Amino acid sequence: MKNRKIIIGSRRSKLAMIYAEKAREKILSYVKNFGIDEVAIKEIETKGDQVLDQRLSEVGGKGLFSKNIEVELLDNKIDIAVHALKDMPSEETEGLLTSCFLERNDPRETLISKNHKQLKDLSPNSIIGTSSFRREFQIKKMRDDLDCKLIRGNVDTRIKKLNENFYDGIILSYAGINSLGLNQNISQIFSTSEIIPCAGQGVIALQCRDNDKELIEILKSVNHQLTHNCIKAERNVLKILEGDCETAVGVFASISGFKINLEAELFSLDGSKRFHLKLSENINKANELGIEVGKALKKLSNNSHKK
């Protein structure tokens, strides 16, 4: 390939731009081998950024953050779309390919609270800001007196709303806060078993057109294989459950030696029932493990997780 310029498209938010820059640097460290001249970044506004007063599931569900960016990719206006994997629907858009993932950032969930209190020390009936049913049910599992209220917006907007006393605490991912350099706000970090993250949390995904052979080759060398194995397992659980943003499901895969461990929990639609599973497989069976756990959870829930 000669003198090709690559354009990366990403959401306009500060965090998305940091993710795009990470992807850019990673690609640049490989391009010498591929004859790429320049890697540019283009900011794209998405519906998920525009509508800030409703739950994502109410605005229109799947792909709110990714759709506009995917359209630009299909229209040849950009060459690579960078997404926070957890914001992507579990089914791939026709004509596109997502098979390159950067090494996972810290996948854990954190509490940011007034006066740096831990969850157990919050006053009775405190208000937690989250727009995710998964986080709501997981928090209530630990403290059933707490009240969860909708919060939307970027990470910094959410912290601002906490400081304006609309909430006593908010739950955010470590990866986002850390990437923005806002760690000093963190009051508590939960282990991935205390609060099982959502599938793909902390993973940056690079998507391209499925017929862009040159780029597919480059992205193959950029891809972090162990992360790839983990998210295959995690996202297969979502596929089997046919979940959307309203599905309250935590899924987390980790590698130890030649094993891949998958822990998952699924809640019924009203949050009253919890189904939990933890299984291990040989690392080259990541796909199968995800399917197995997904099917087992589906059976346990007897479709109580769906409308």
Choose the binding region for ligand PBG from 117-125, 170-178, 231-239, 283-291 (rule: CB under 6 A): 170-178
Establish if 9 lies at the interface with ligand PBG (CB under 6 A).
no
- Half-sphere exposure (CA, 13 Å, Cβ side) for 40? 10
Residues 245-284 within binding reach of ligand PBG (CB under 6 A): none
- Rounded to the nearest 10°, the torsion over CA 92, 199, 106, 202 is 30
DSSP state, 102?
A: P
Establish if 172 lies at the interface with ligand PBG (CB under 6 A).
yes
Residue 23 Cβ, how far from ligand PBG at the closest point, in Å? Answer: 12
Active site residues: 87
Residues 33-52 within binding reach of ligand PBG (CB under 6 A): none
The span from the CA of 108 to the CA of 195, in Å, is 8
Matching residue, tokens 């829930």:
301
Angle (nearest 5°) at CA 254 between 135 and 189: 40
| DSSP notation for 148-197 | EE---S-HHHHHHHHHTTS-SEEEEEHHHHHHTT-GGG--EE--TTTSPP
Tell me the number of residues near ligand PBG by CB under 6 A.
Answer: 10
Establish if 208 lies at the interface with ligand PBG (CB under 6 A).
no
Establish if 175 lies at the interface with ligand PBG (CB under 6 A).
yes
Residues 278-307 within binding reach of ligand PBG (CB under 6 A): none
Residues 75-134 within binding reach of ligand PBG (CB under 6 A): 84, 86-87
| Comparison of 84 and 111: residue with beta carbon closer to ligand PBG | 84
The span from the CA of 200 to the CA of 253, in Å, is 9
Residue 110 Cβ, how far from ligand PBG at the closest point, in Å? Answer: 8
Residue 174 Cβ, how far from ligand PBG at the closest point, in Å? Answer: 8
Of 231, 230, 233, whose CA–CA distance to 293 is shortest?
233
Given candidates 119, 155, 219, 248, which one binds ligand PBG under the rule CB under 6 A?
A: 155
Establish if 202 lies at the interface with ligand PBG (CB under 6 A).
yes
The span from the CA of 135 to the CA of 196, in Å, is 9
Establish if 187 lies at the interface with ligand PBG (CB under 6 A).
no
| Comparison of 227 and 301: residue with beta carbon closer to ligand PBG | 227
- Helix, coil or strand: residue 261: strand
Positions that interact with ligand PBG (CB under 6 A): 84, 86-87, 155, 172-173, 175-176, 201-202
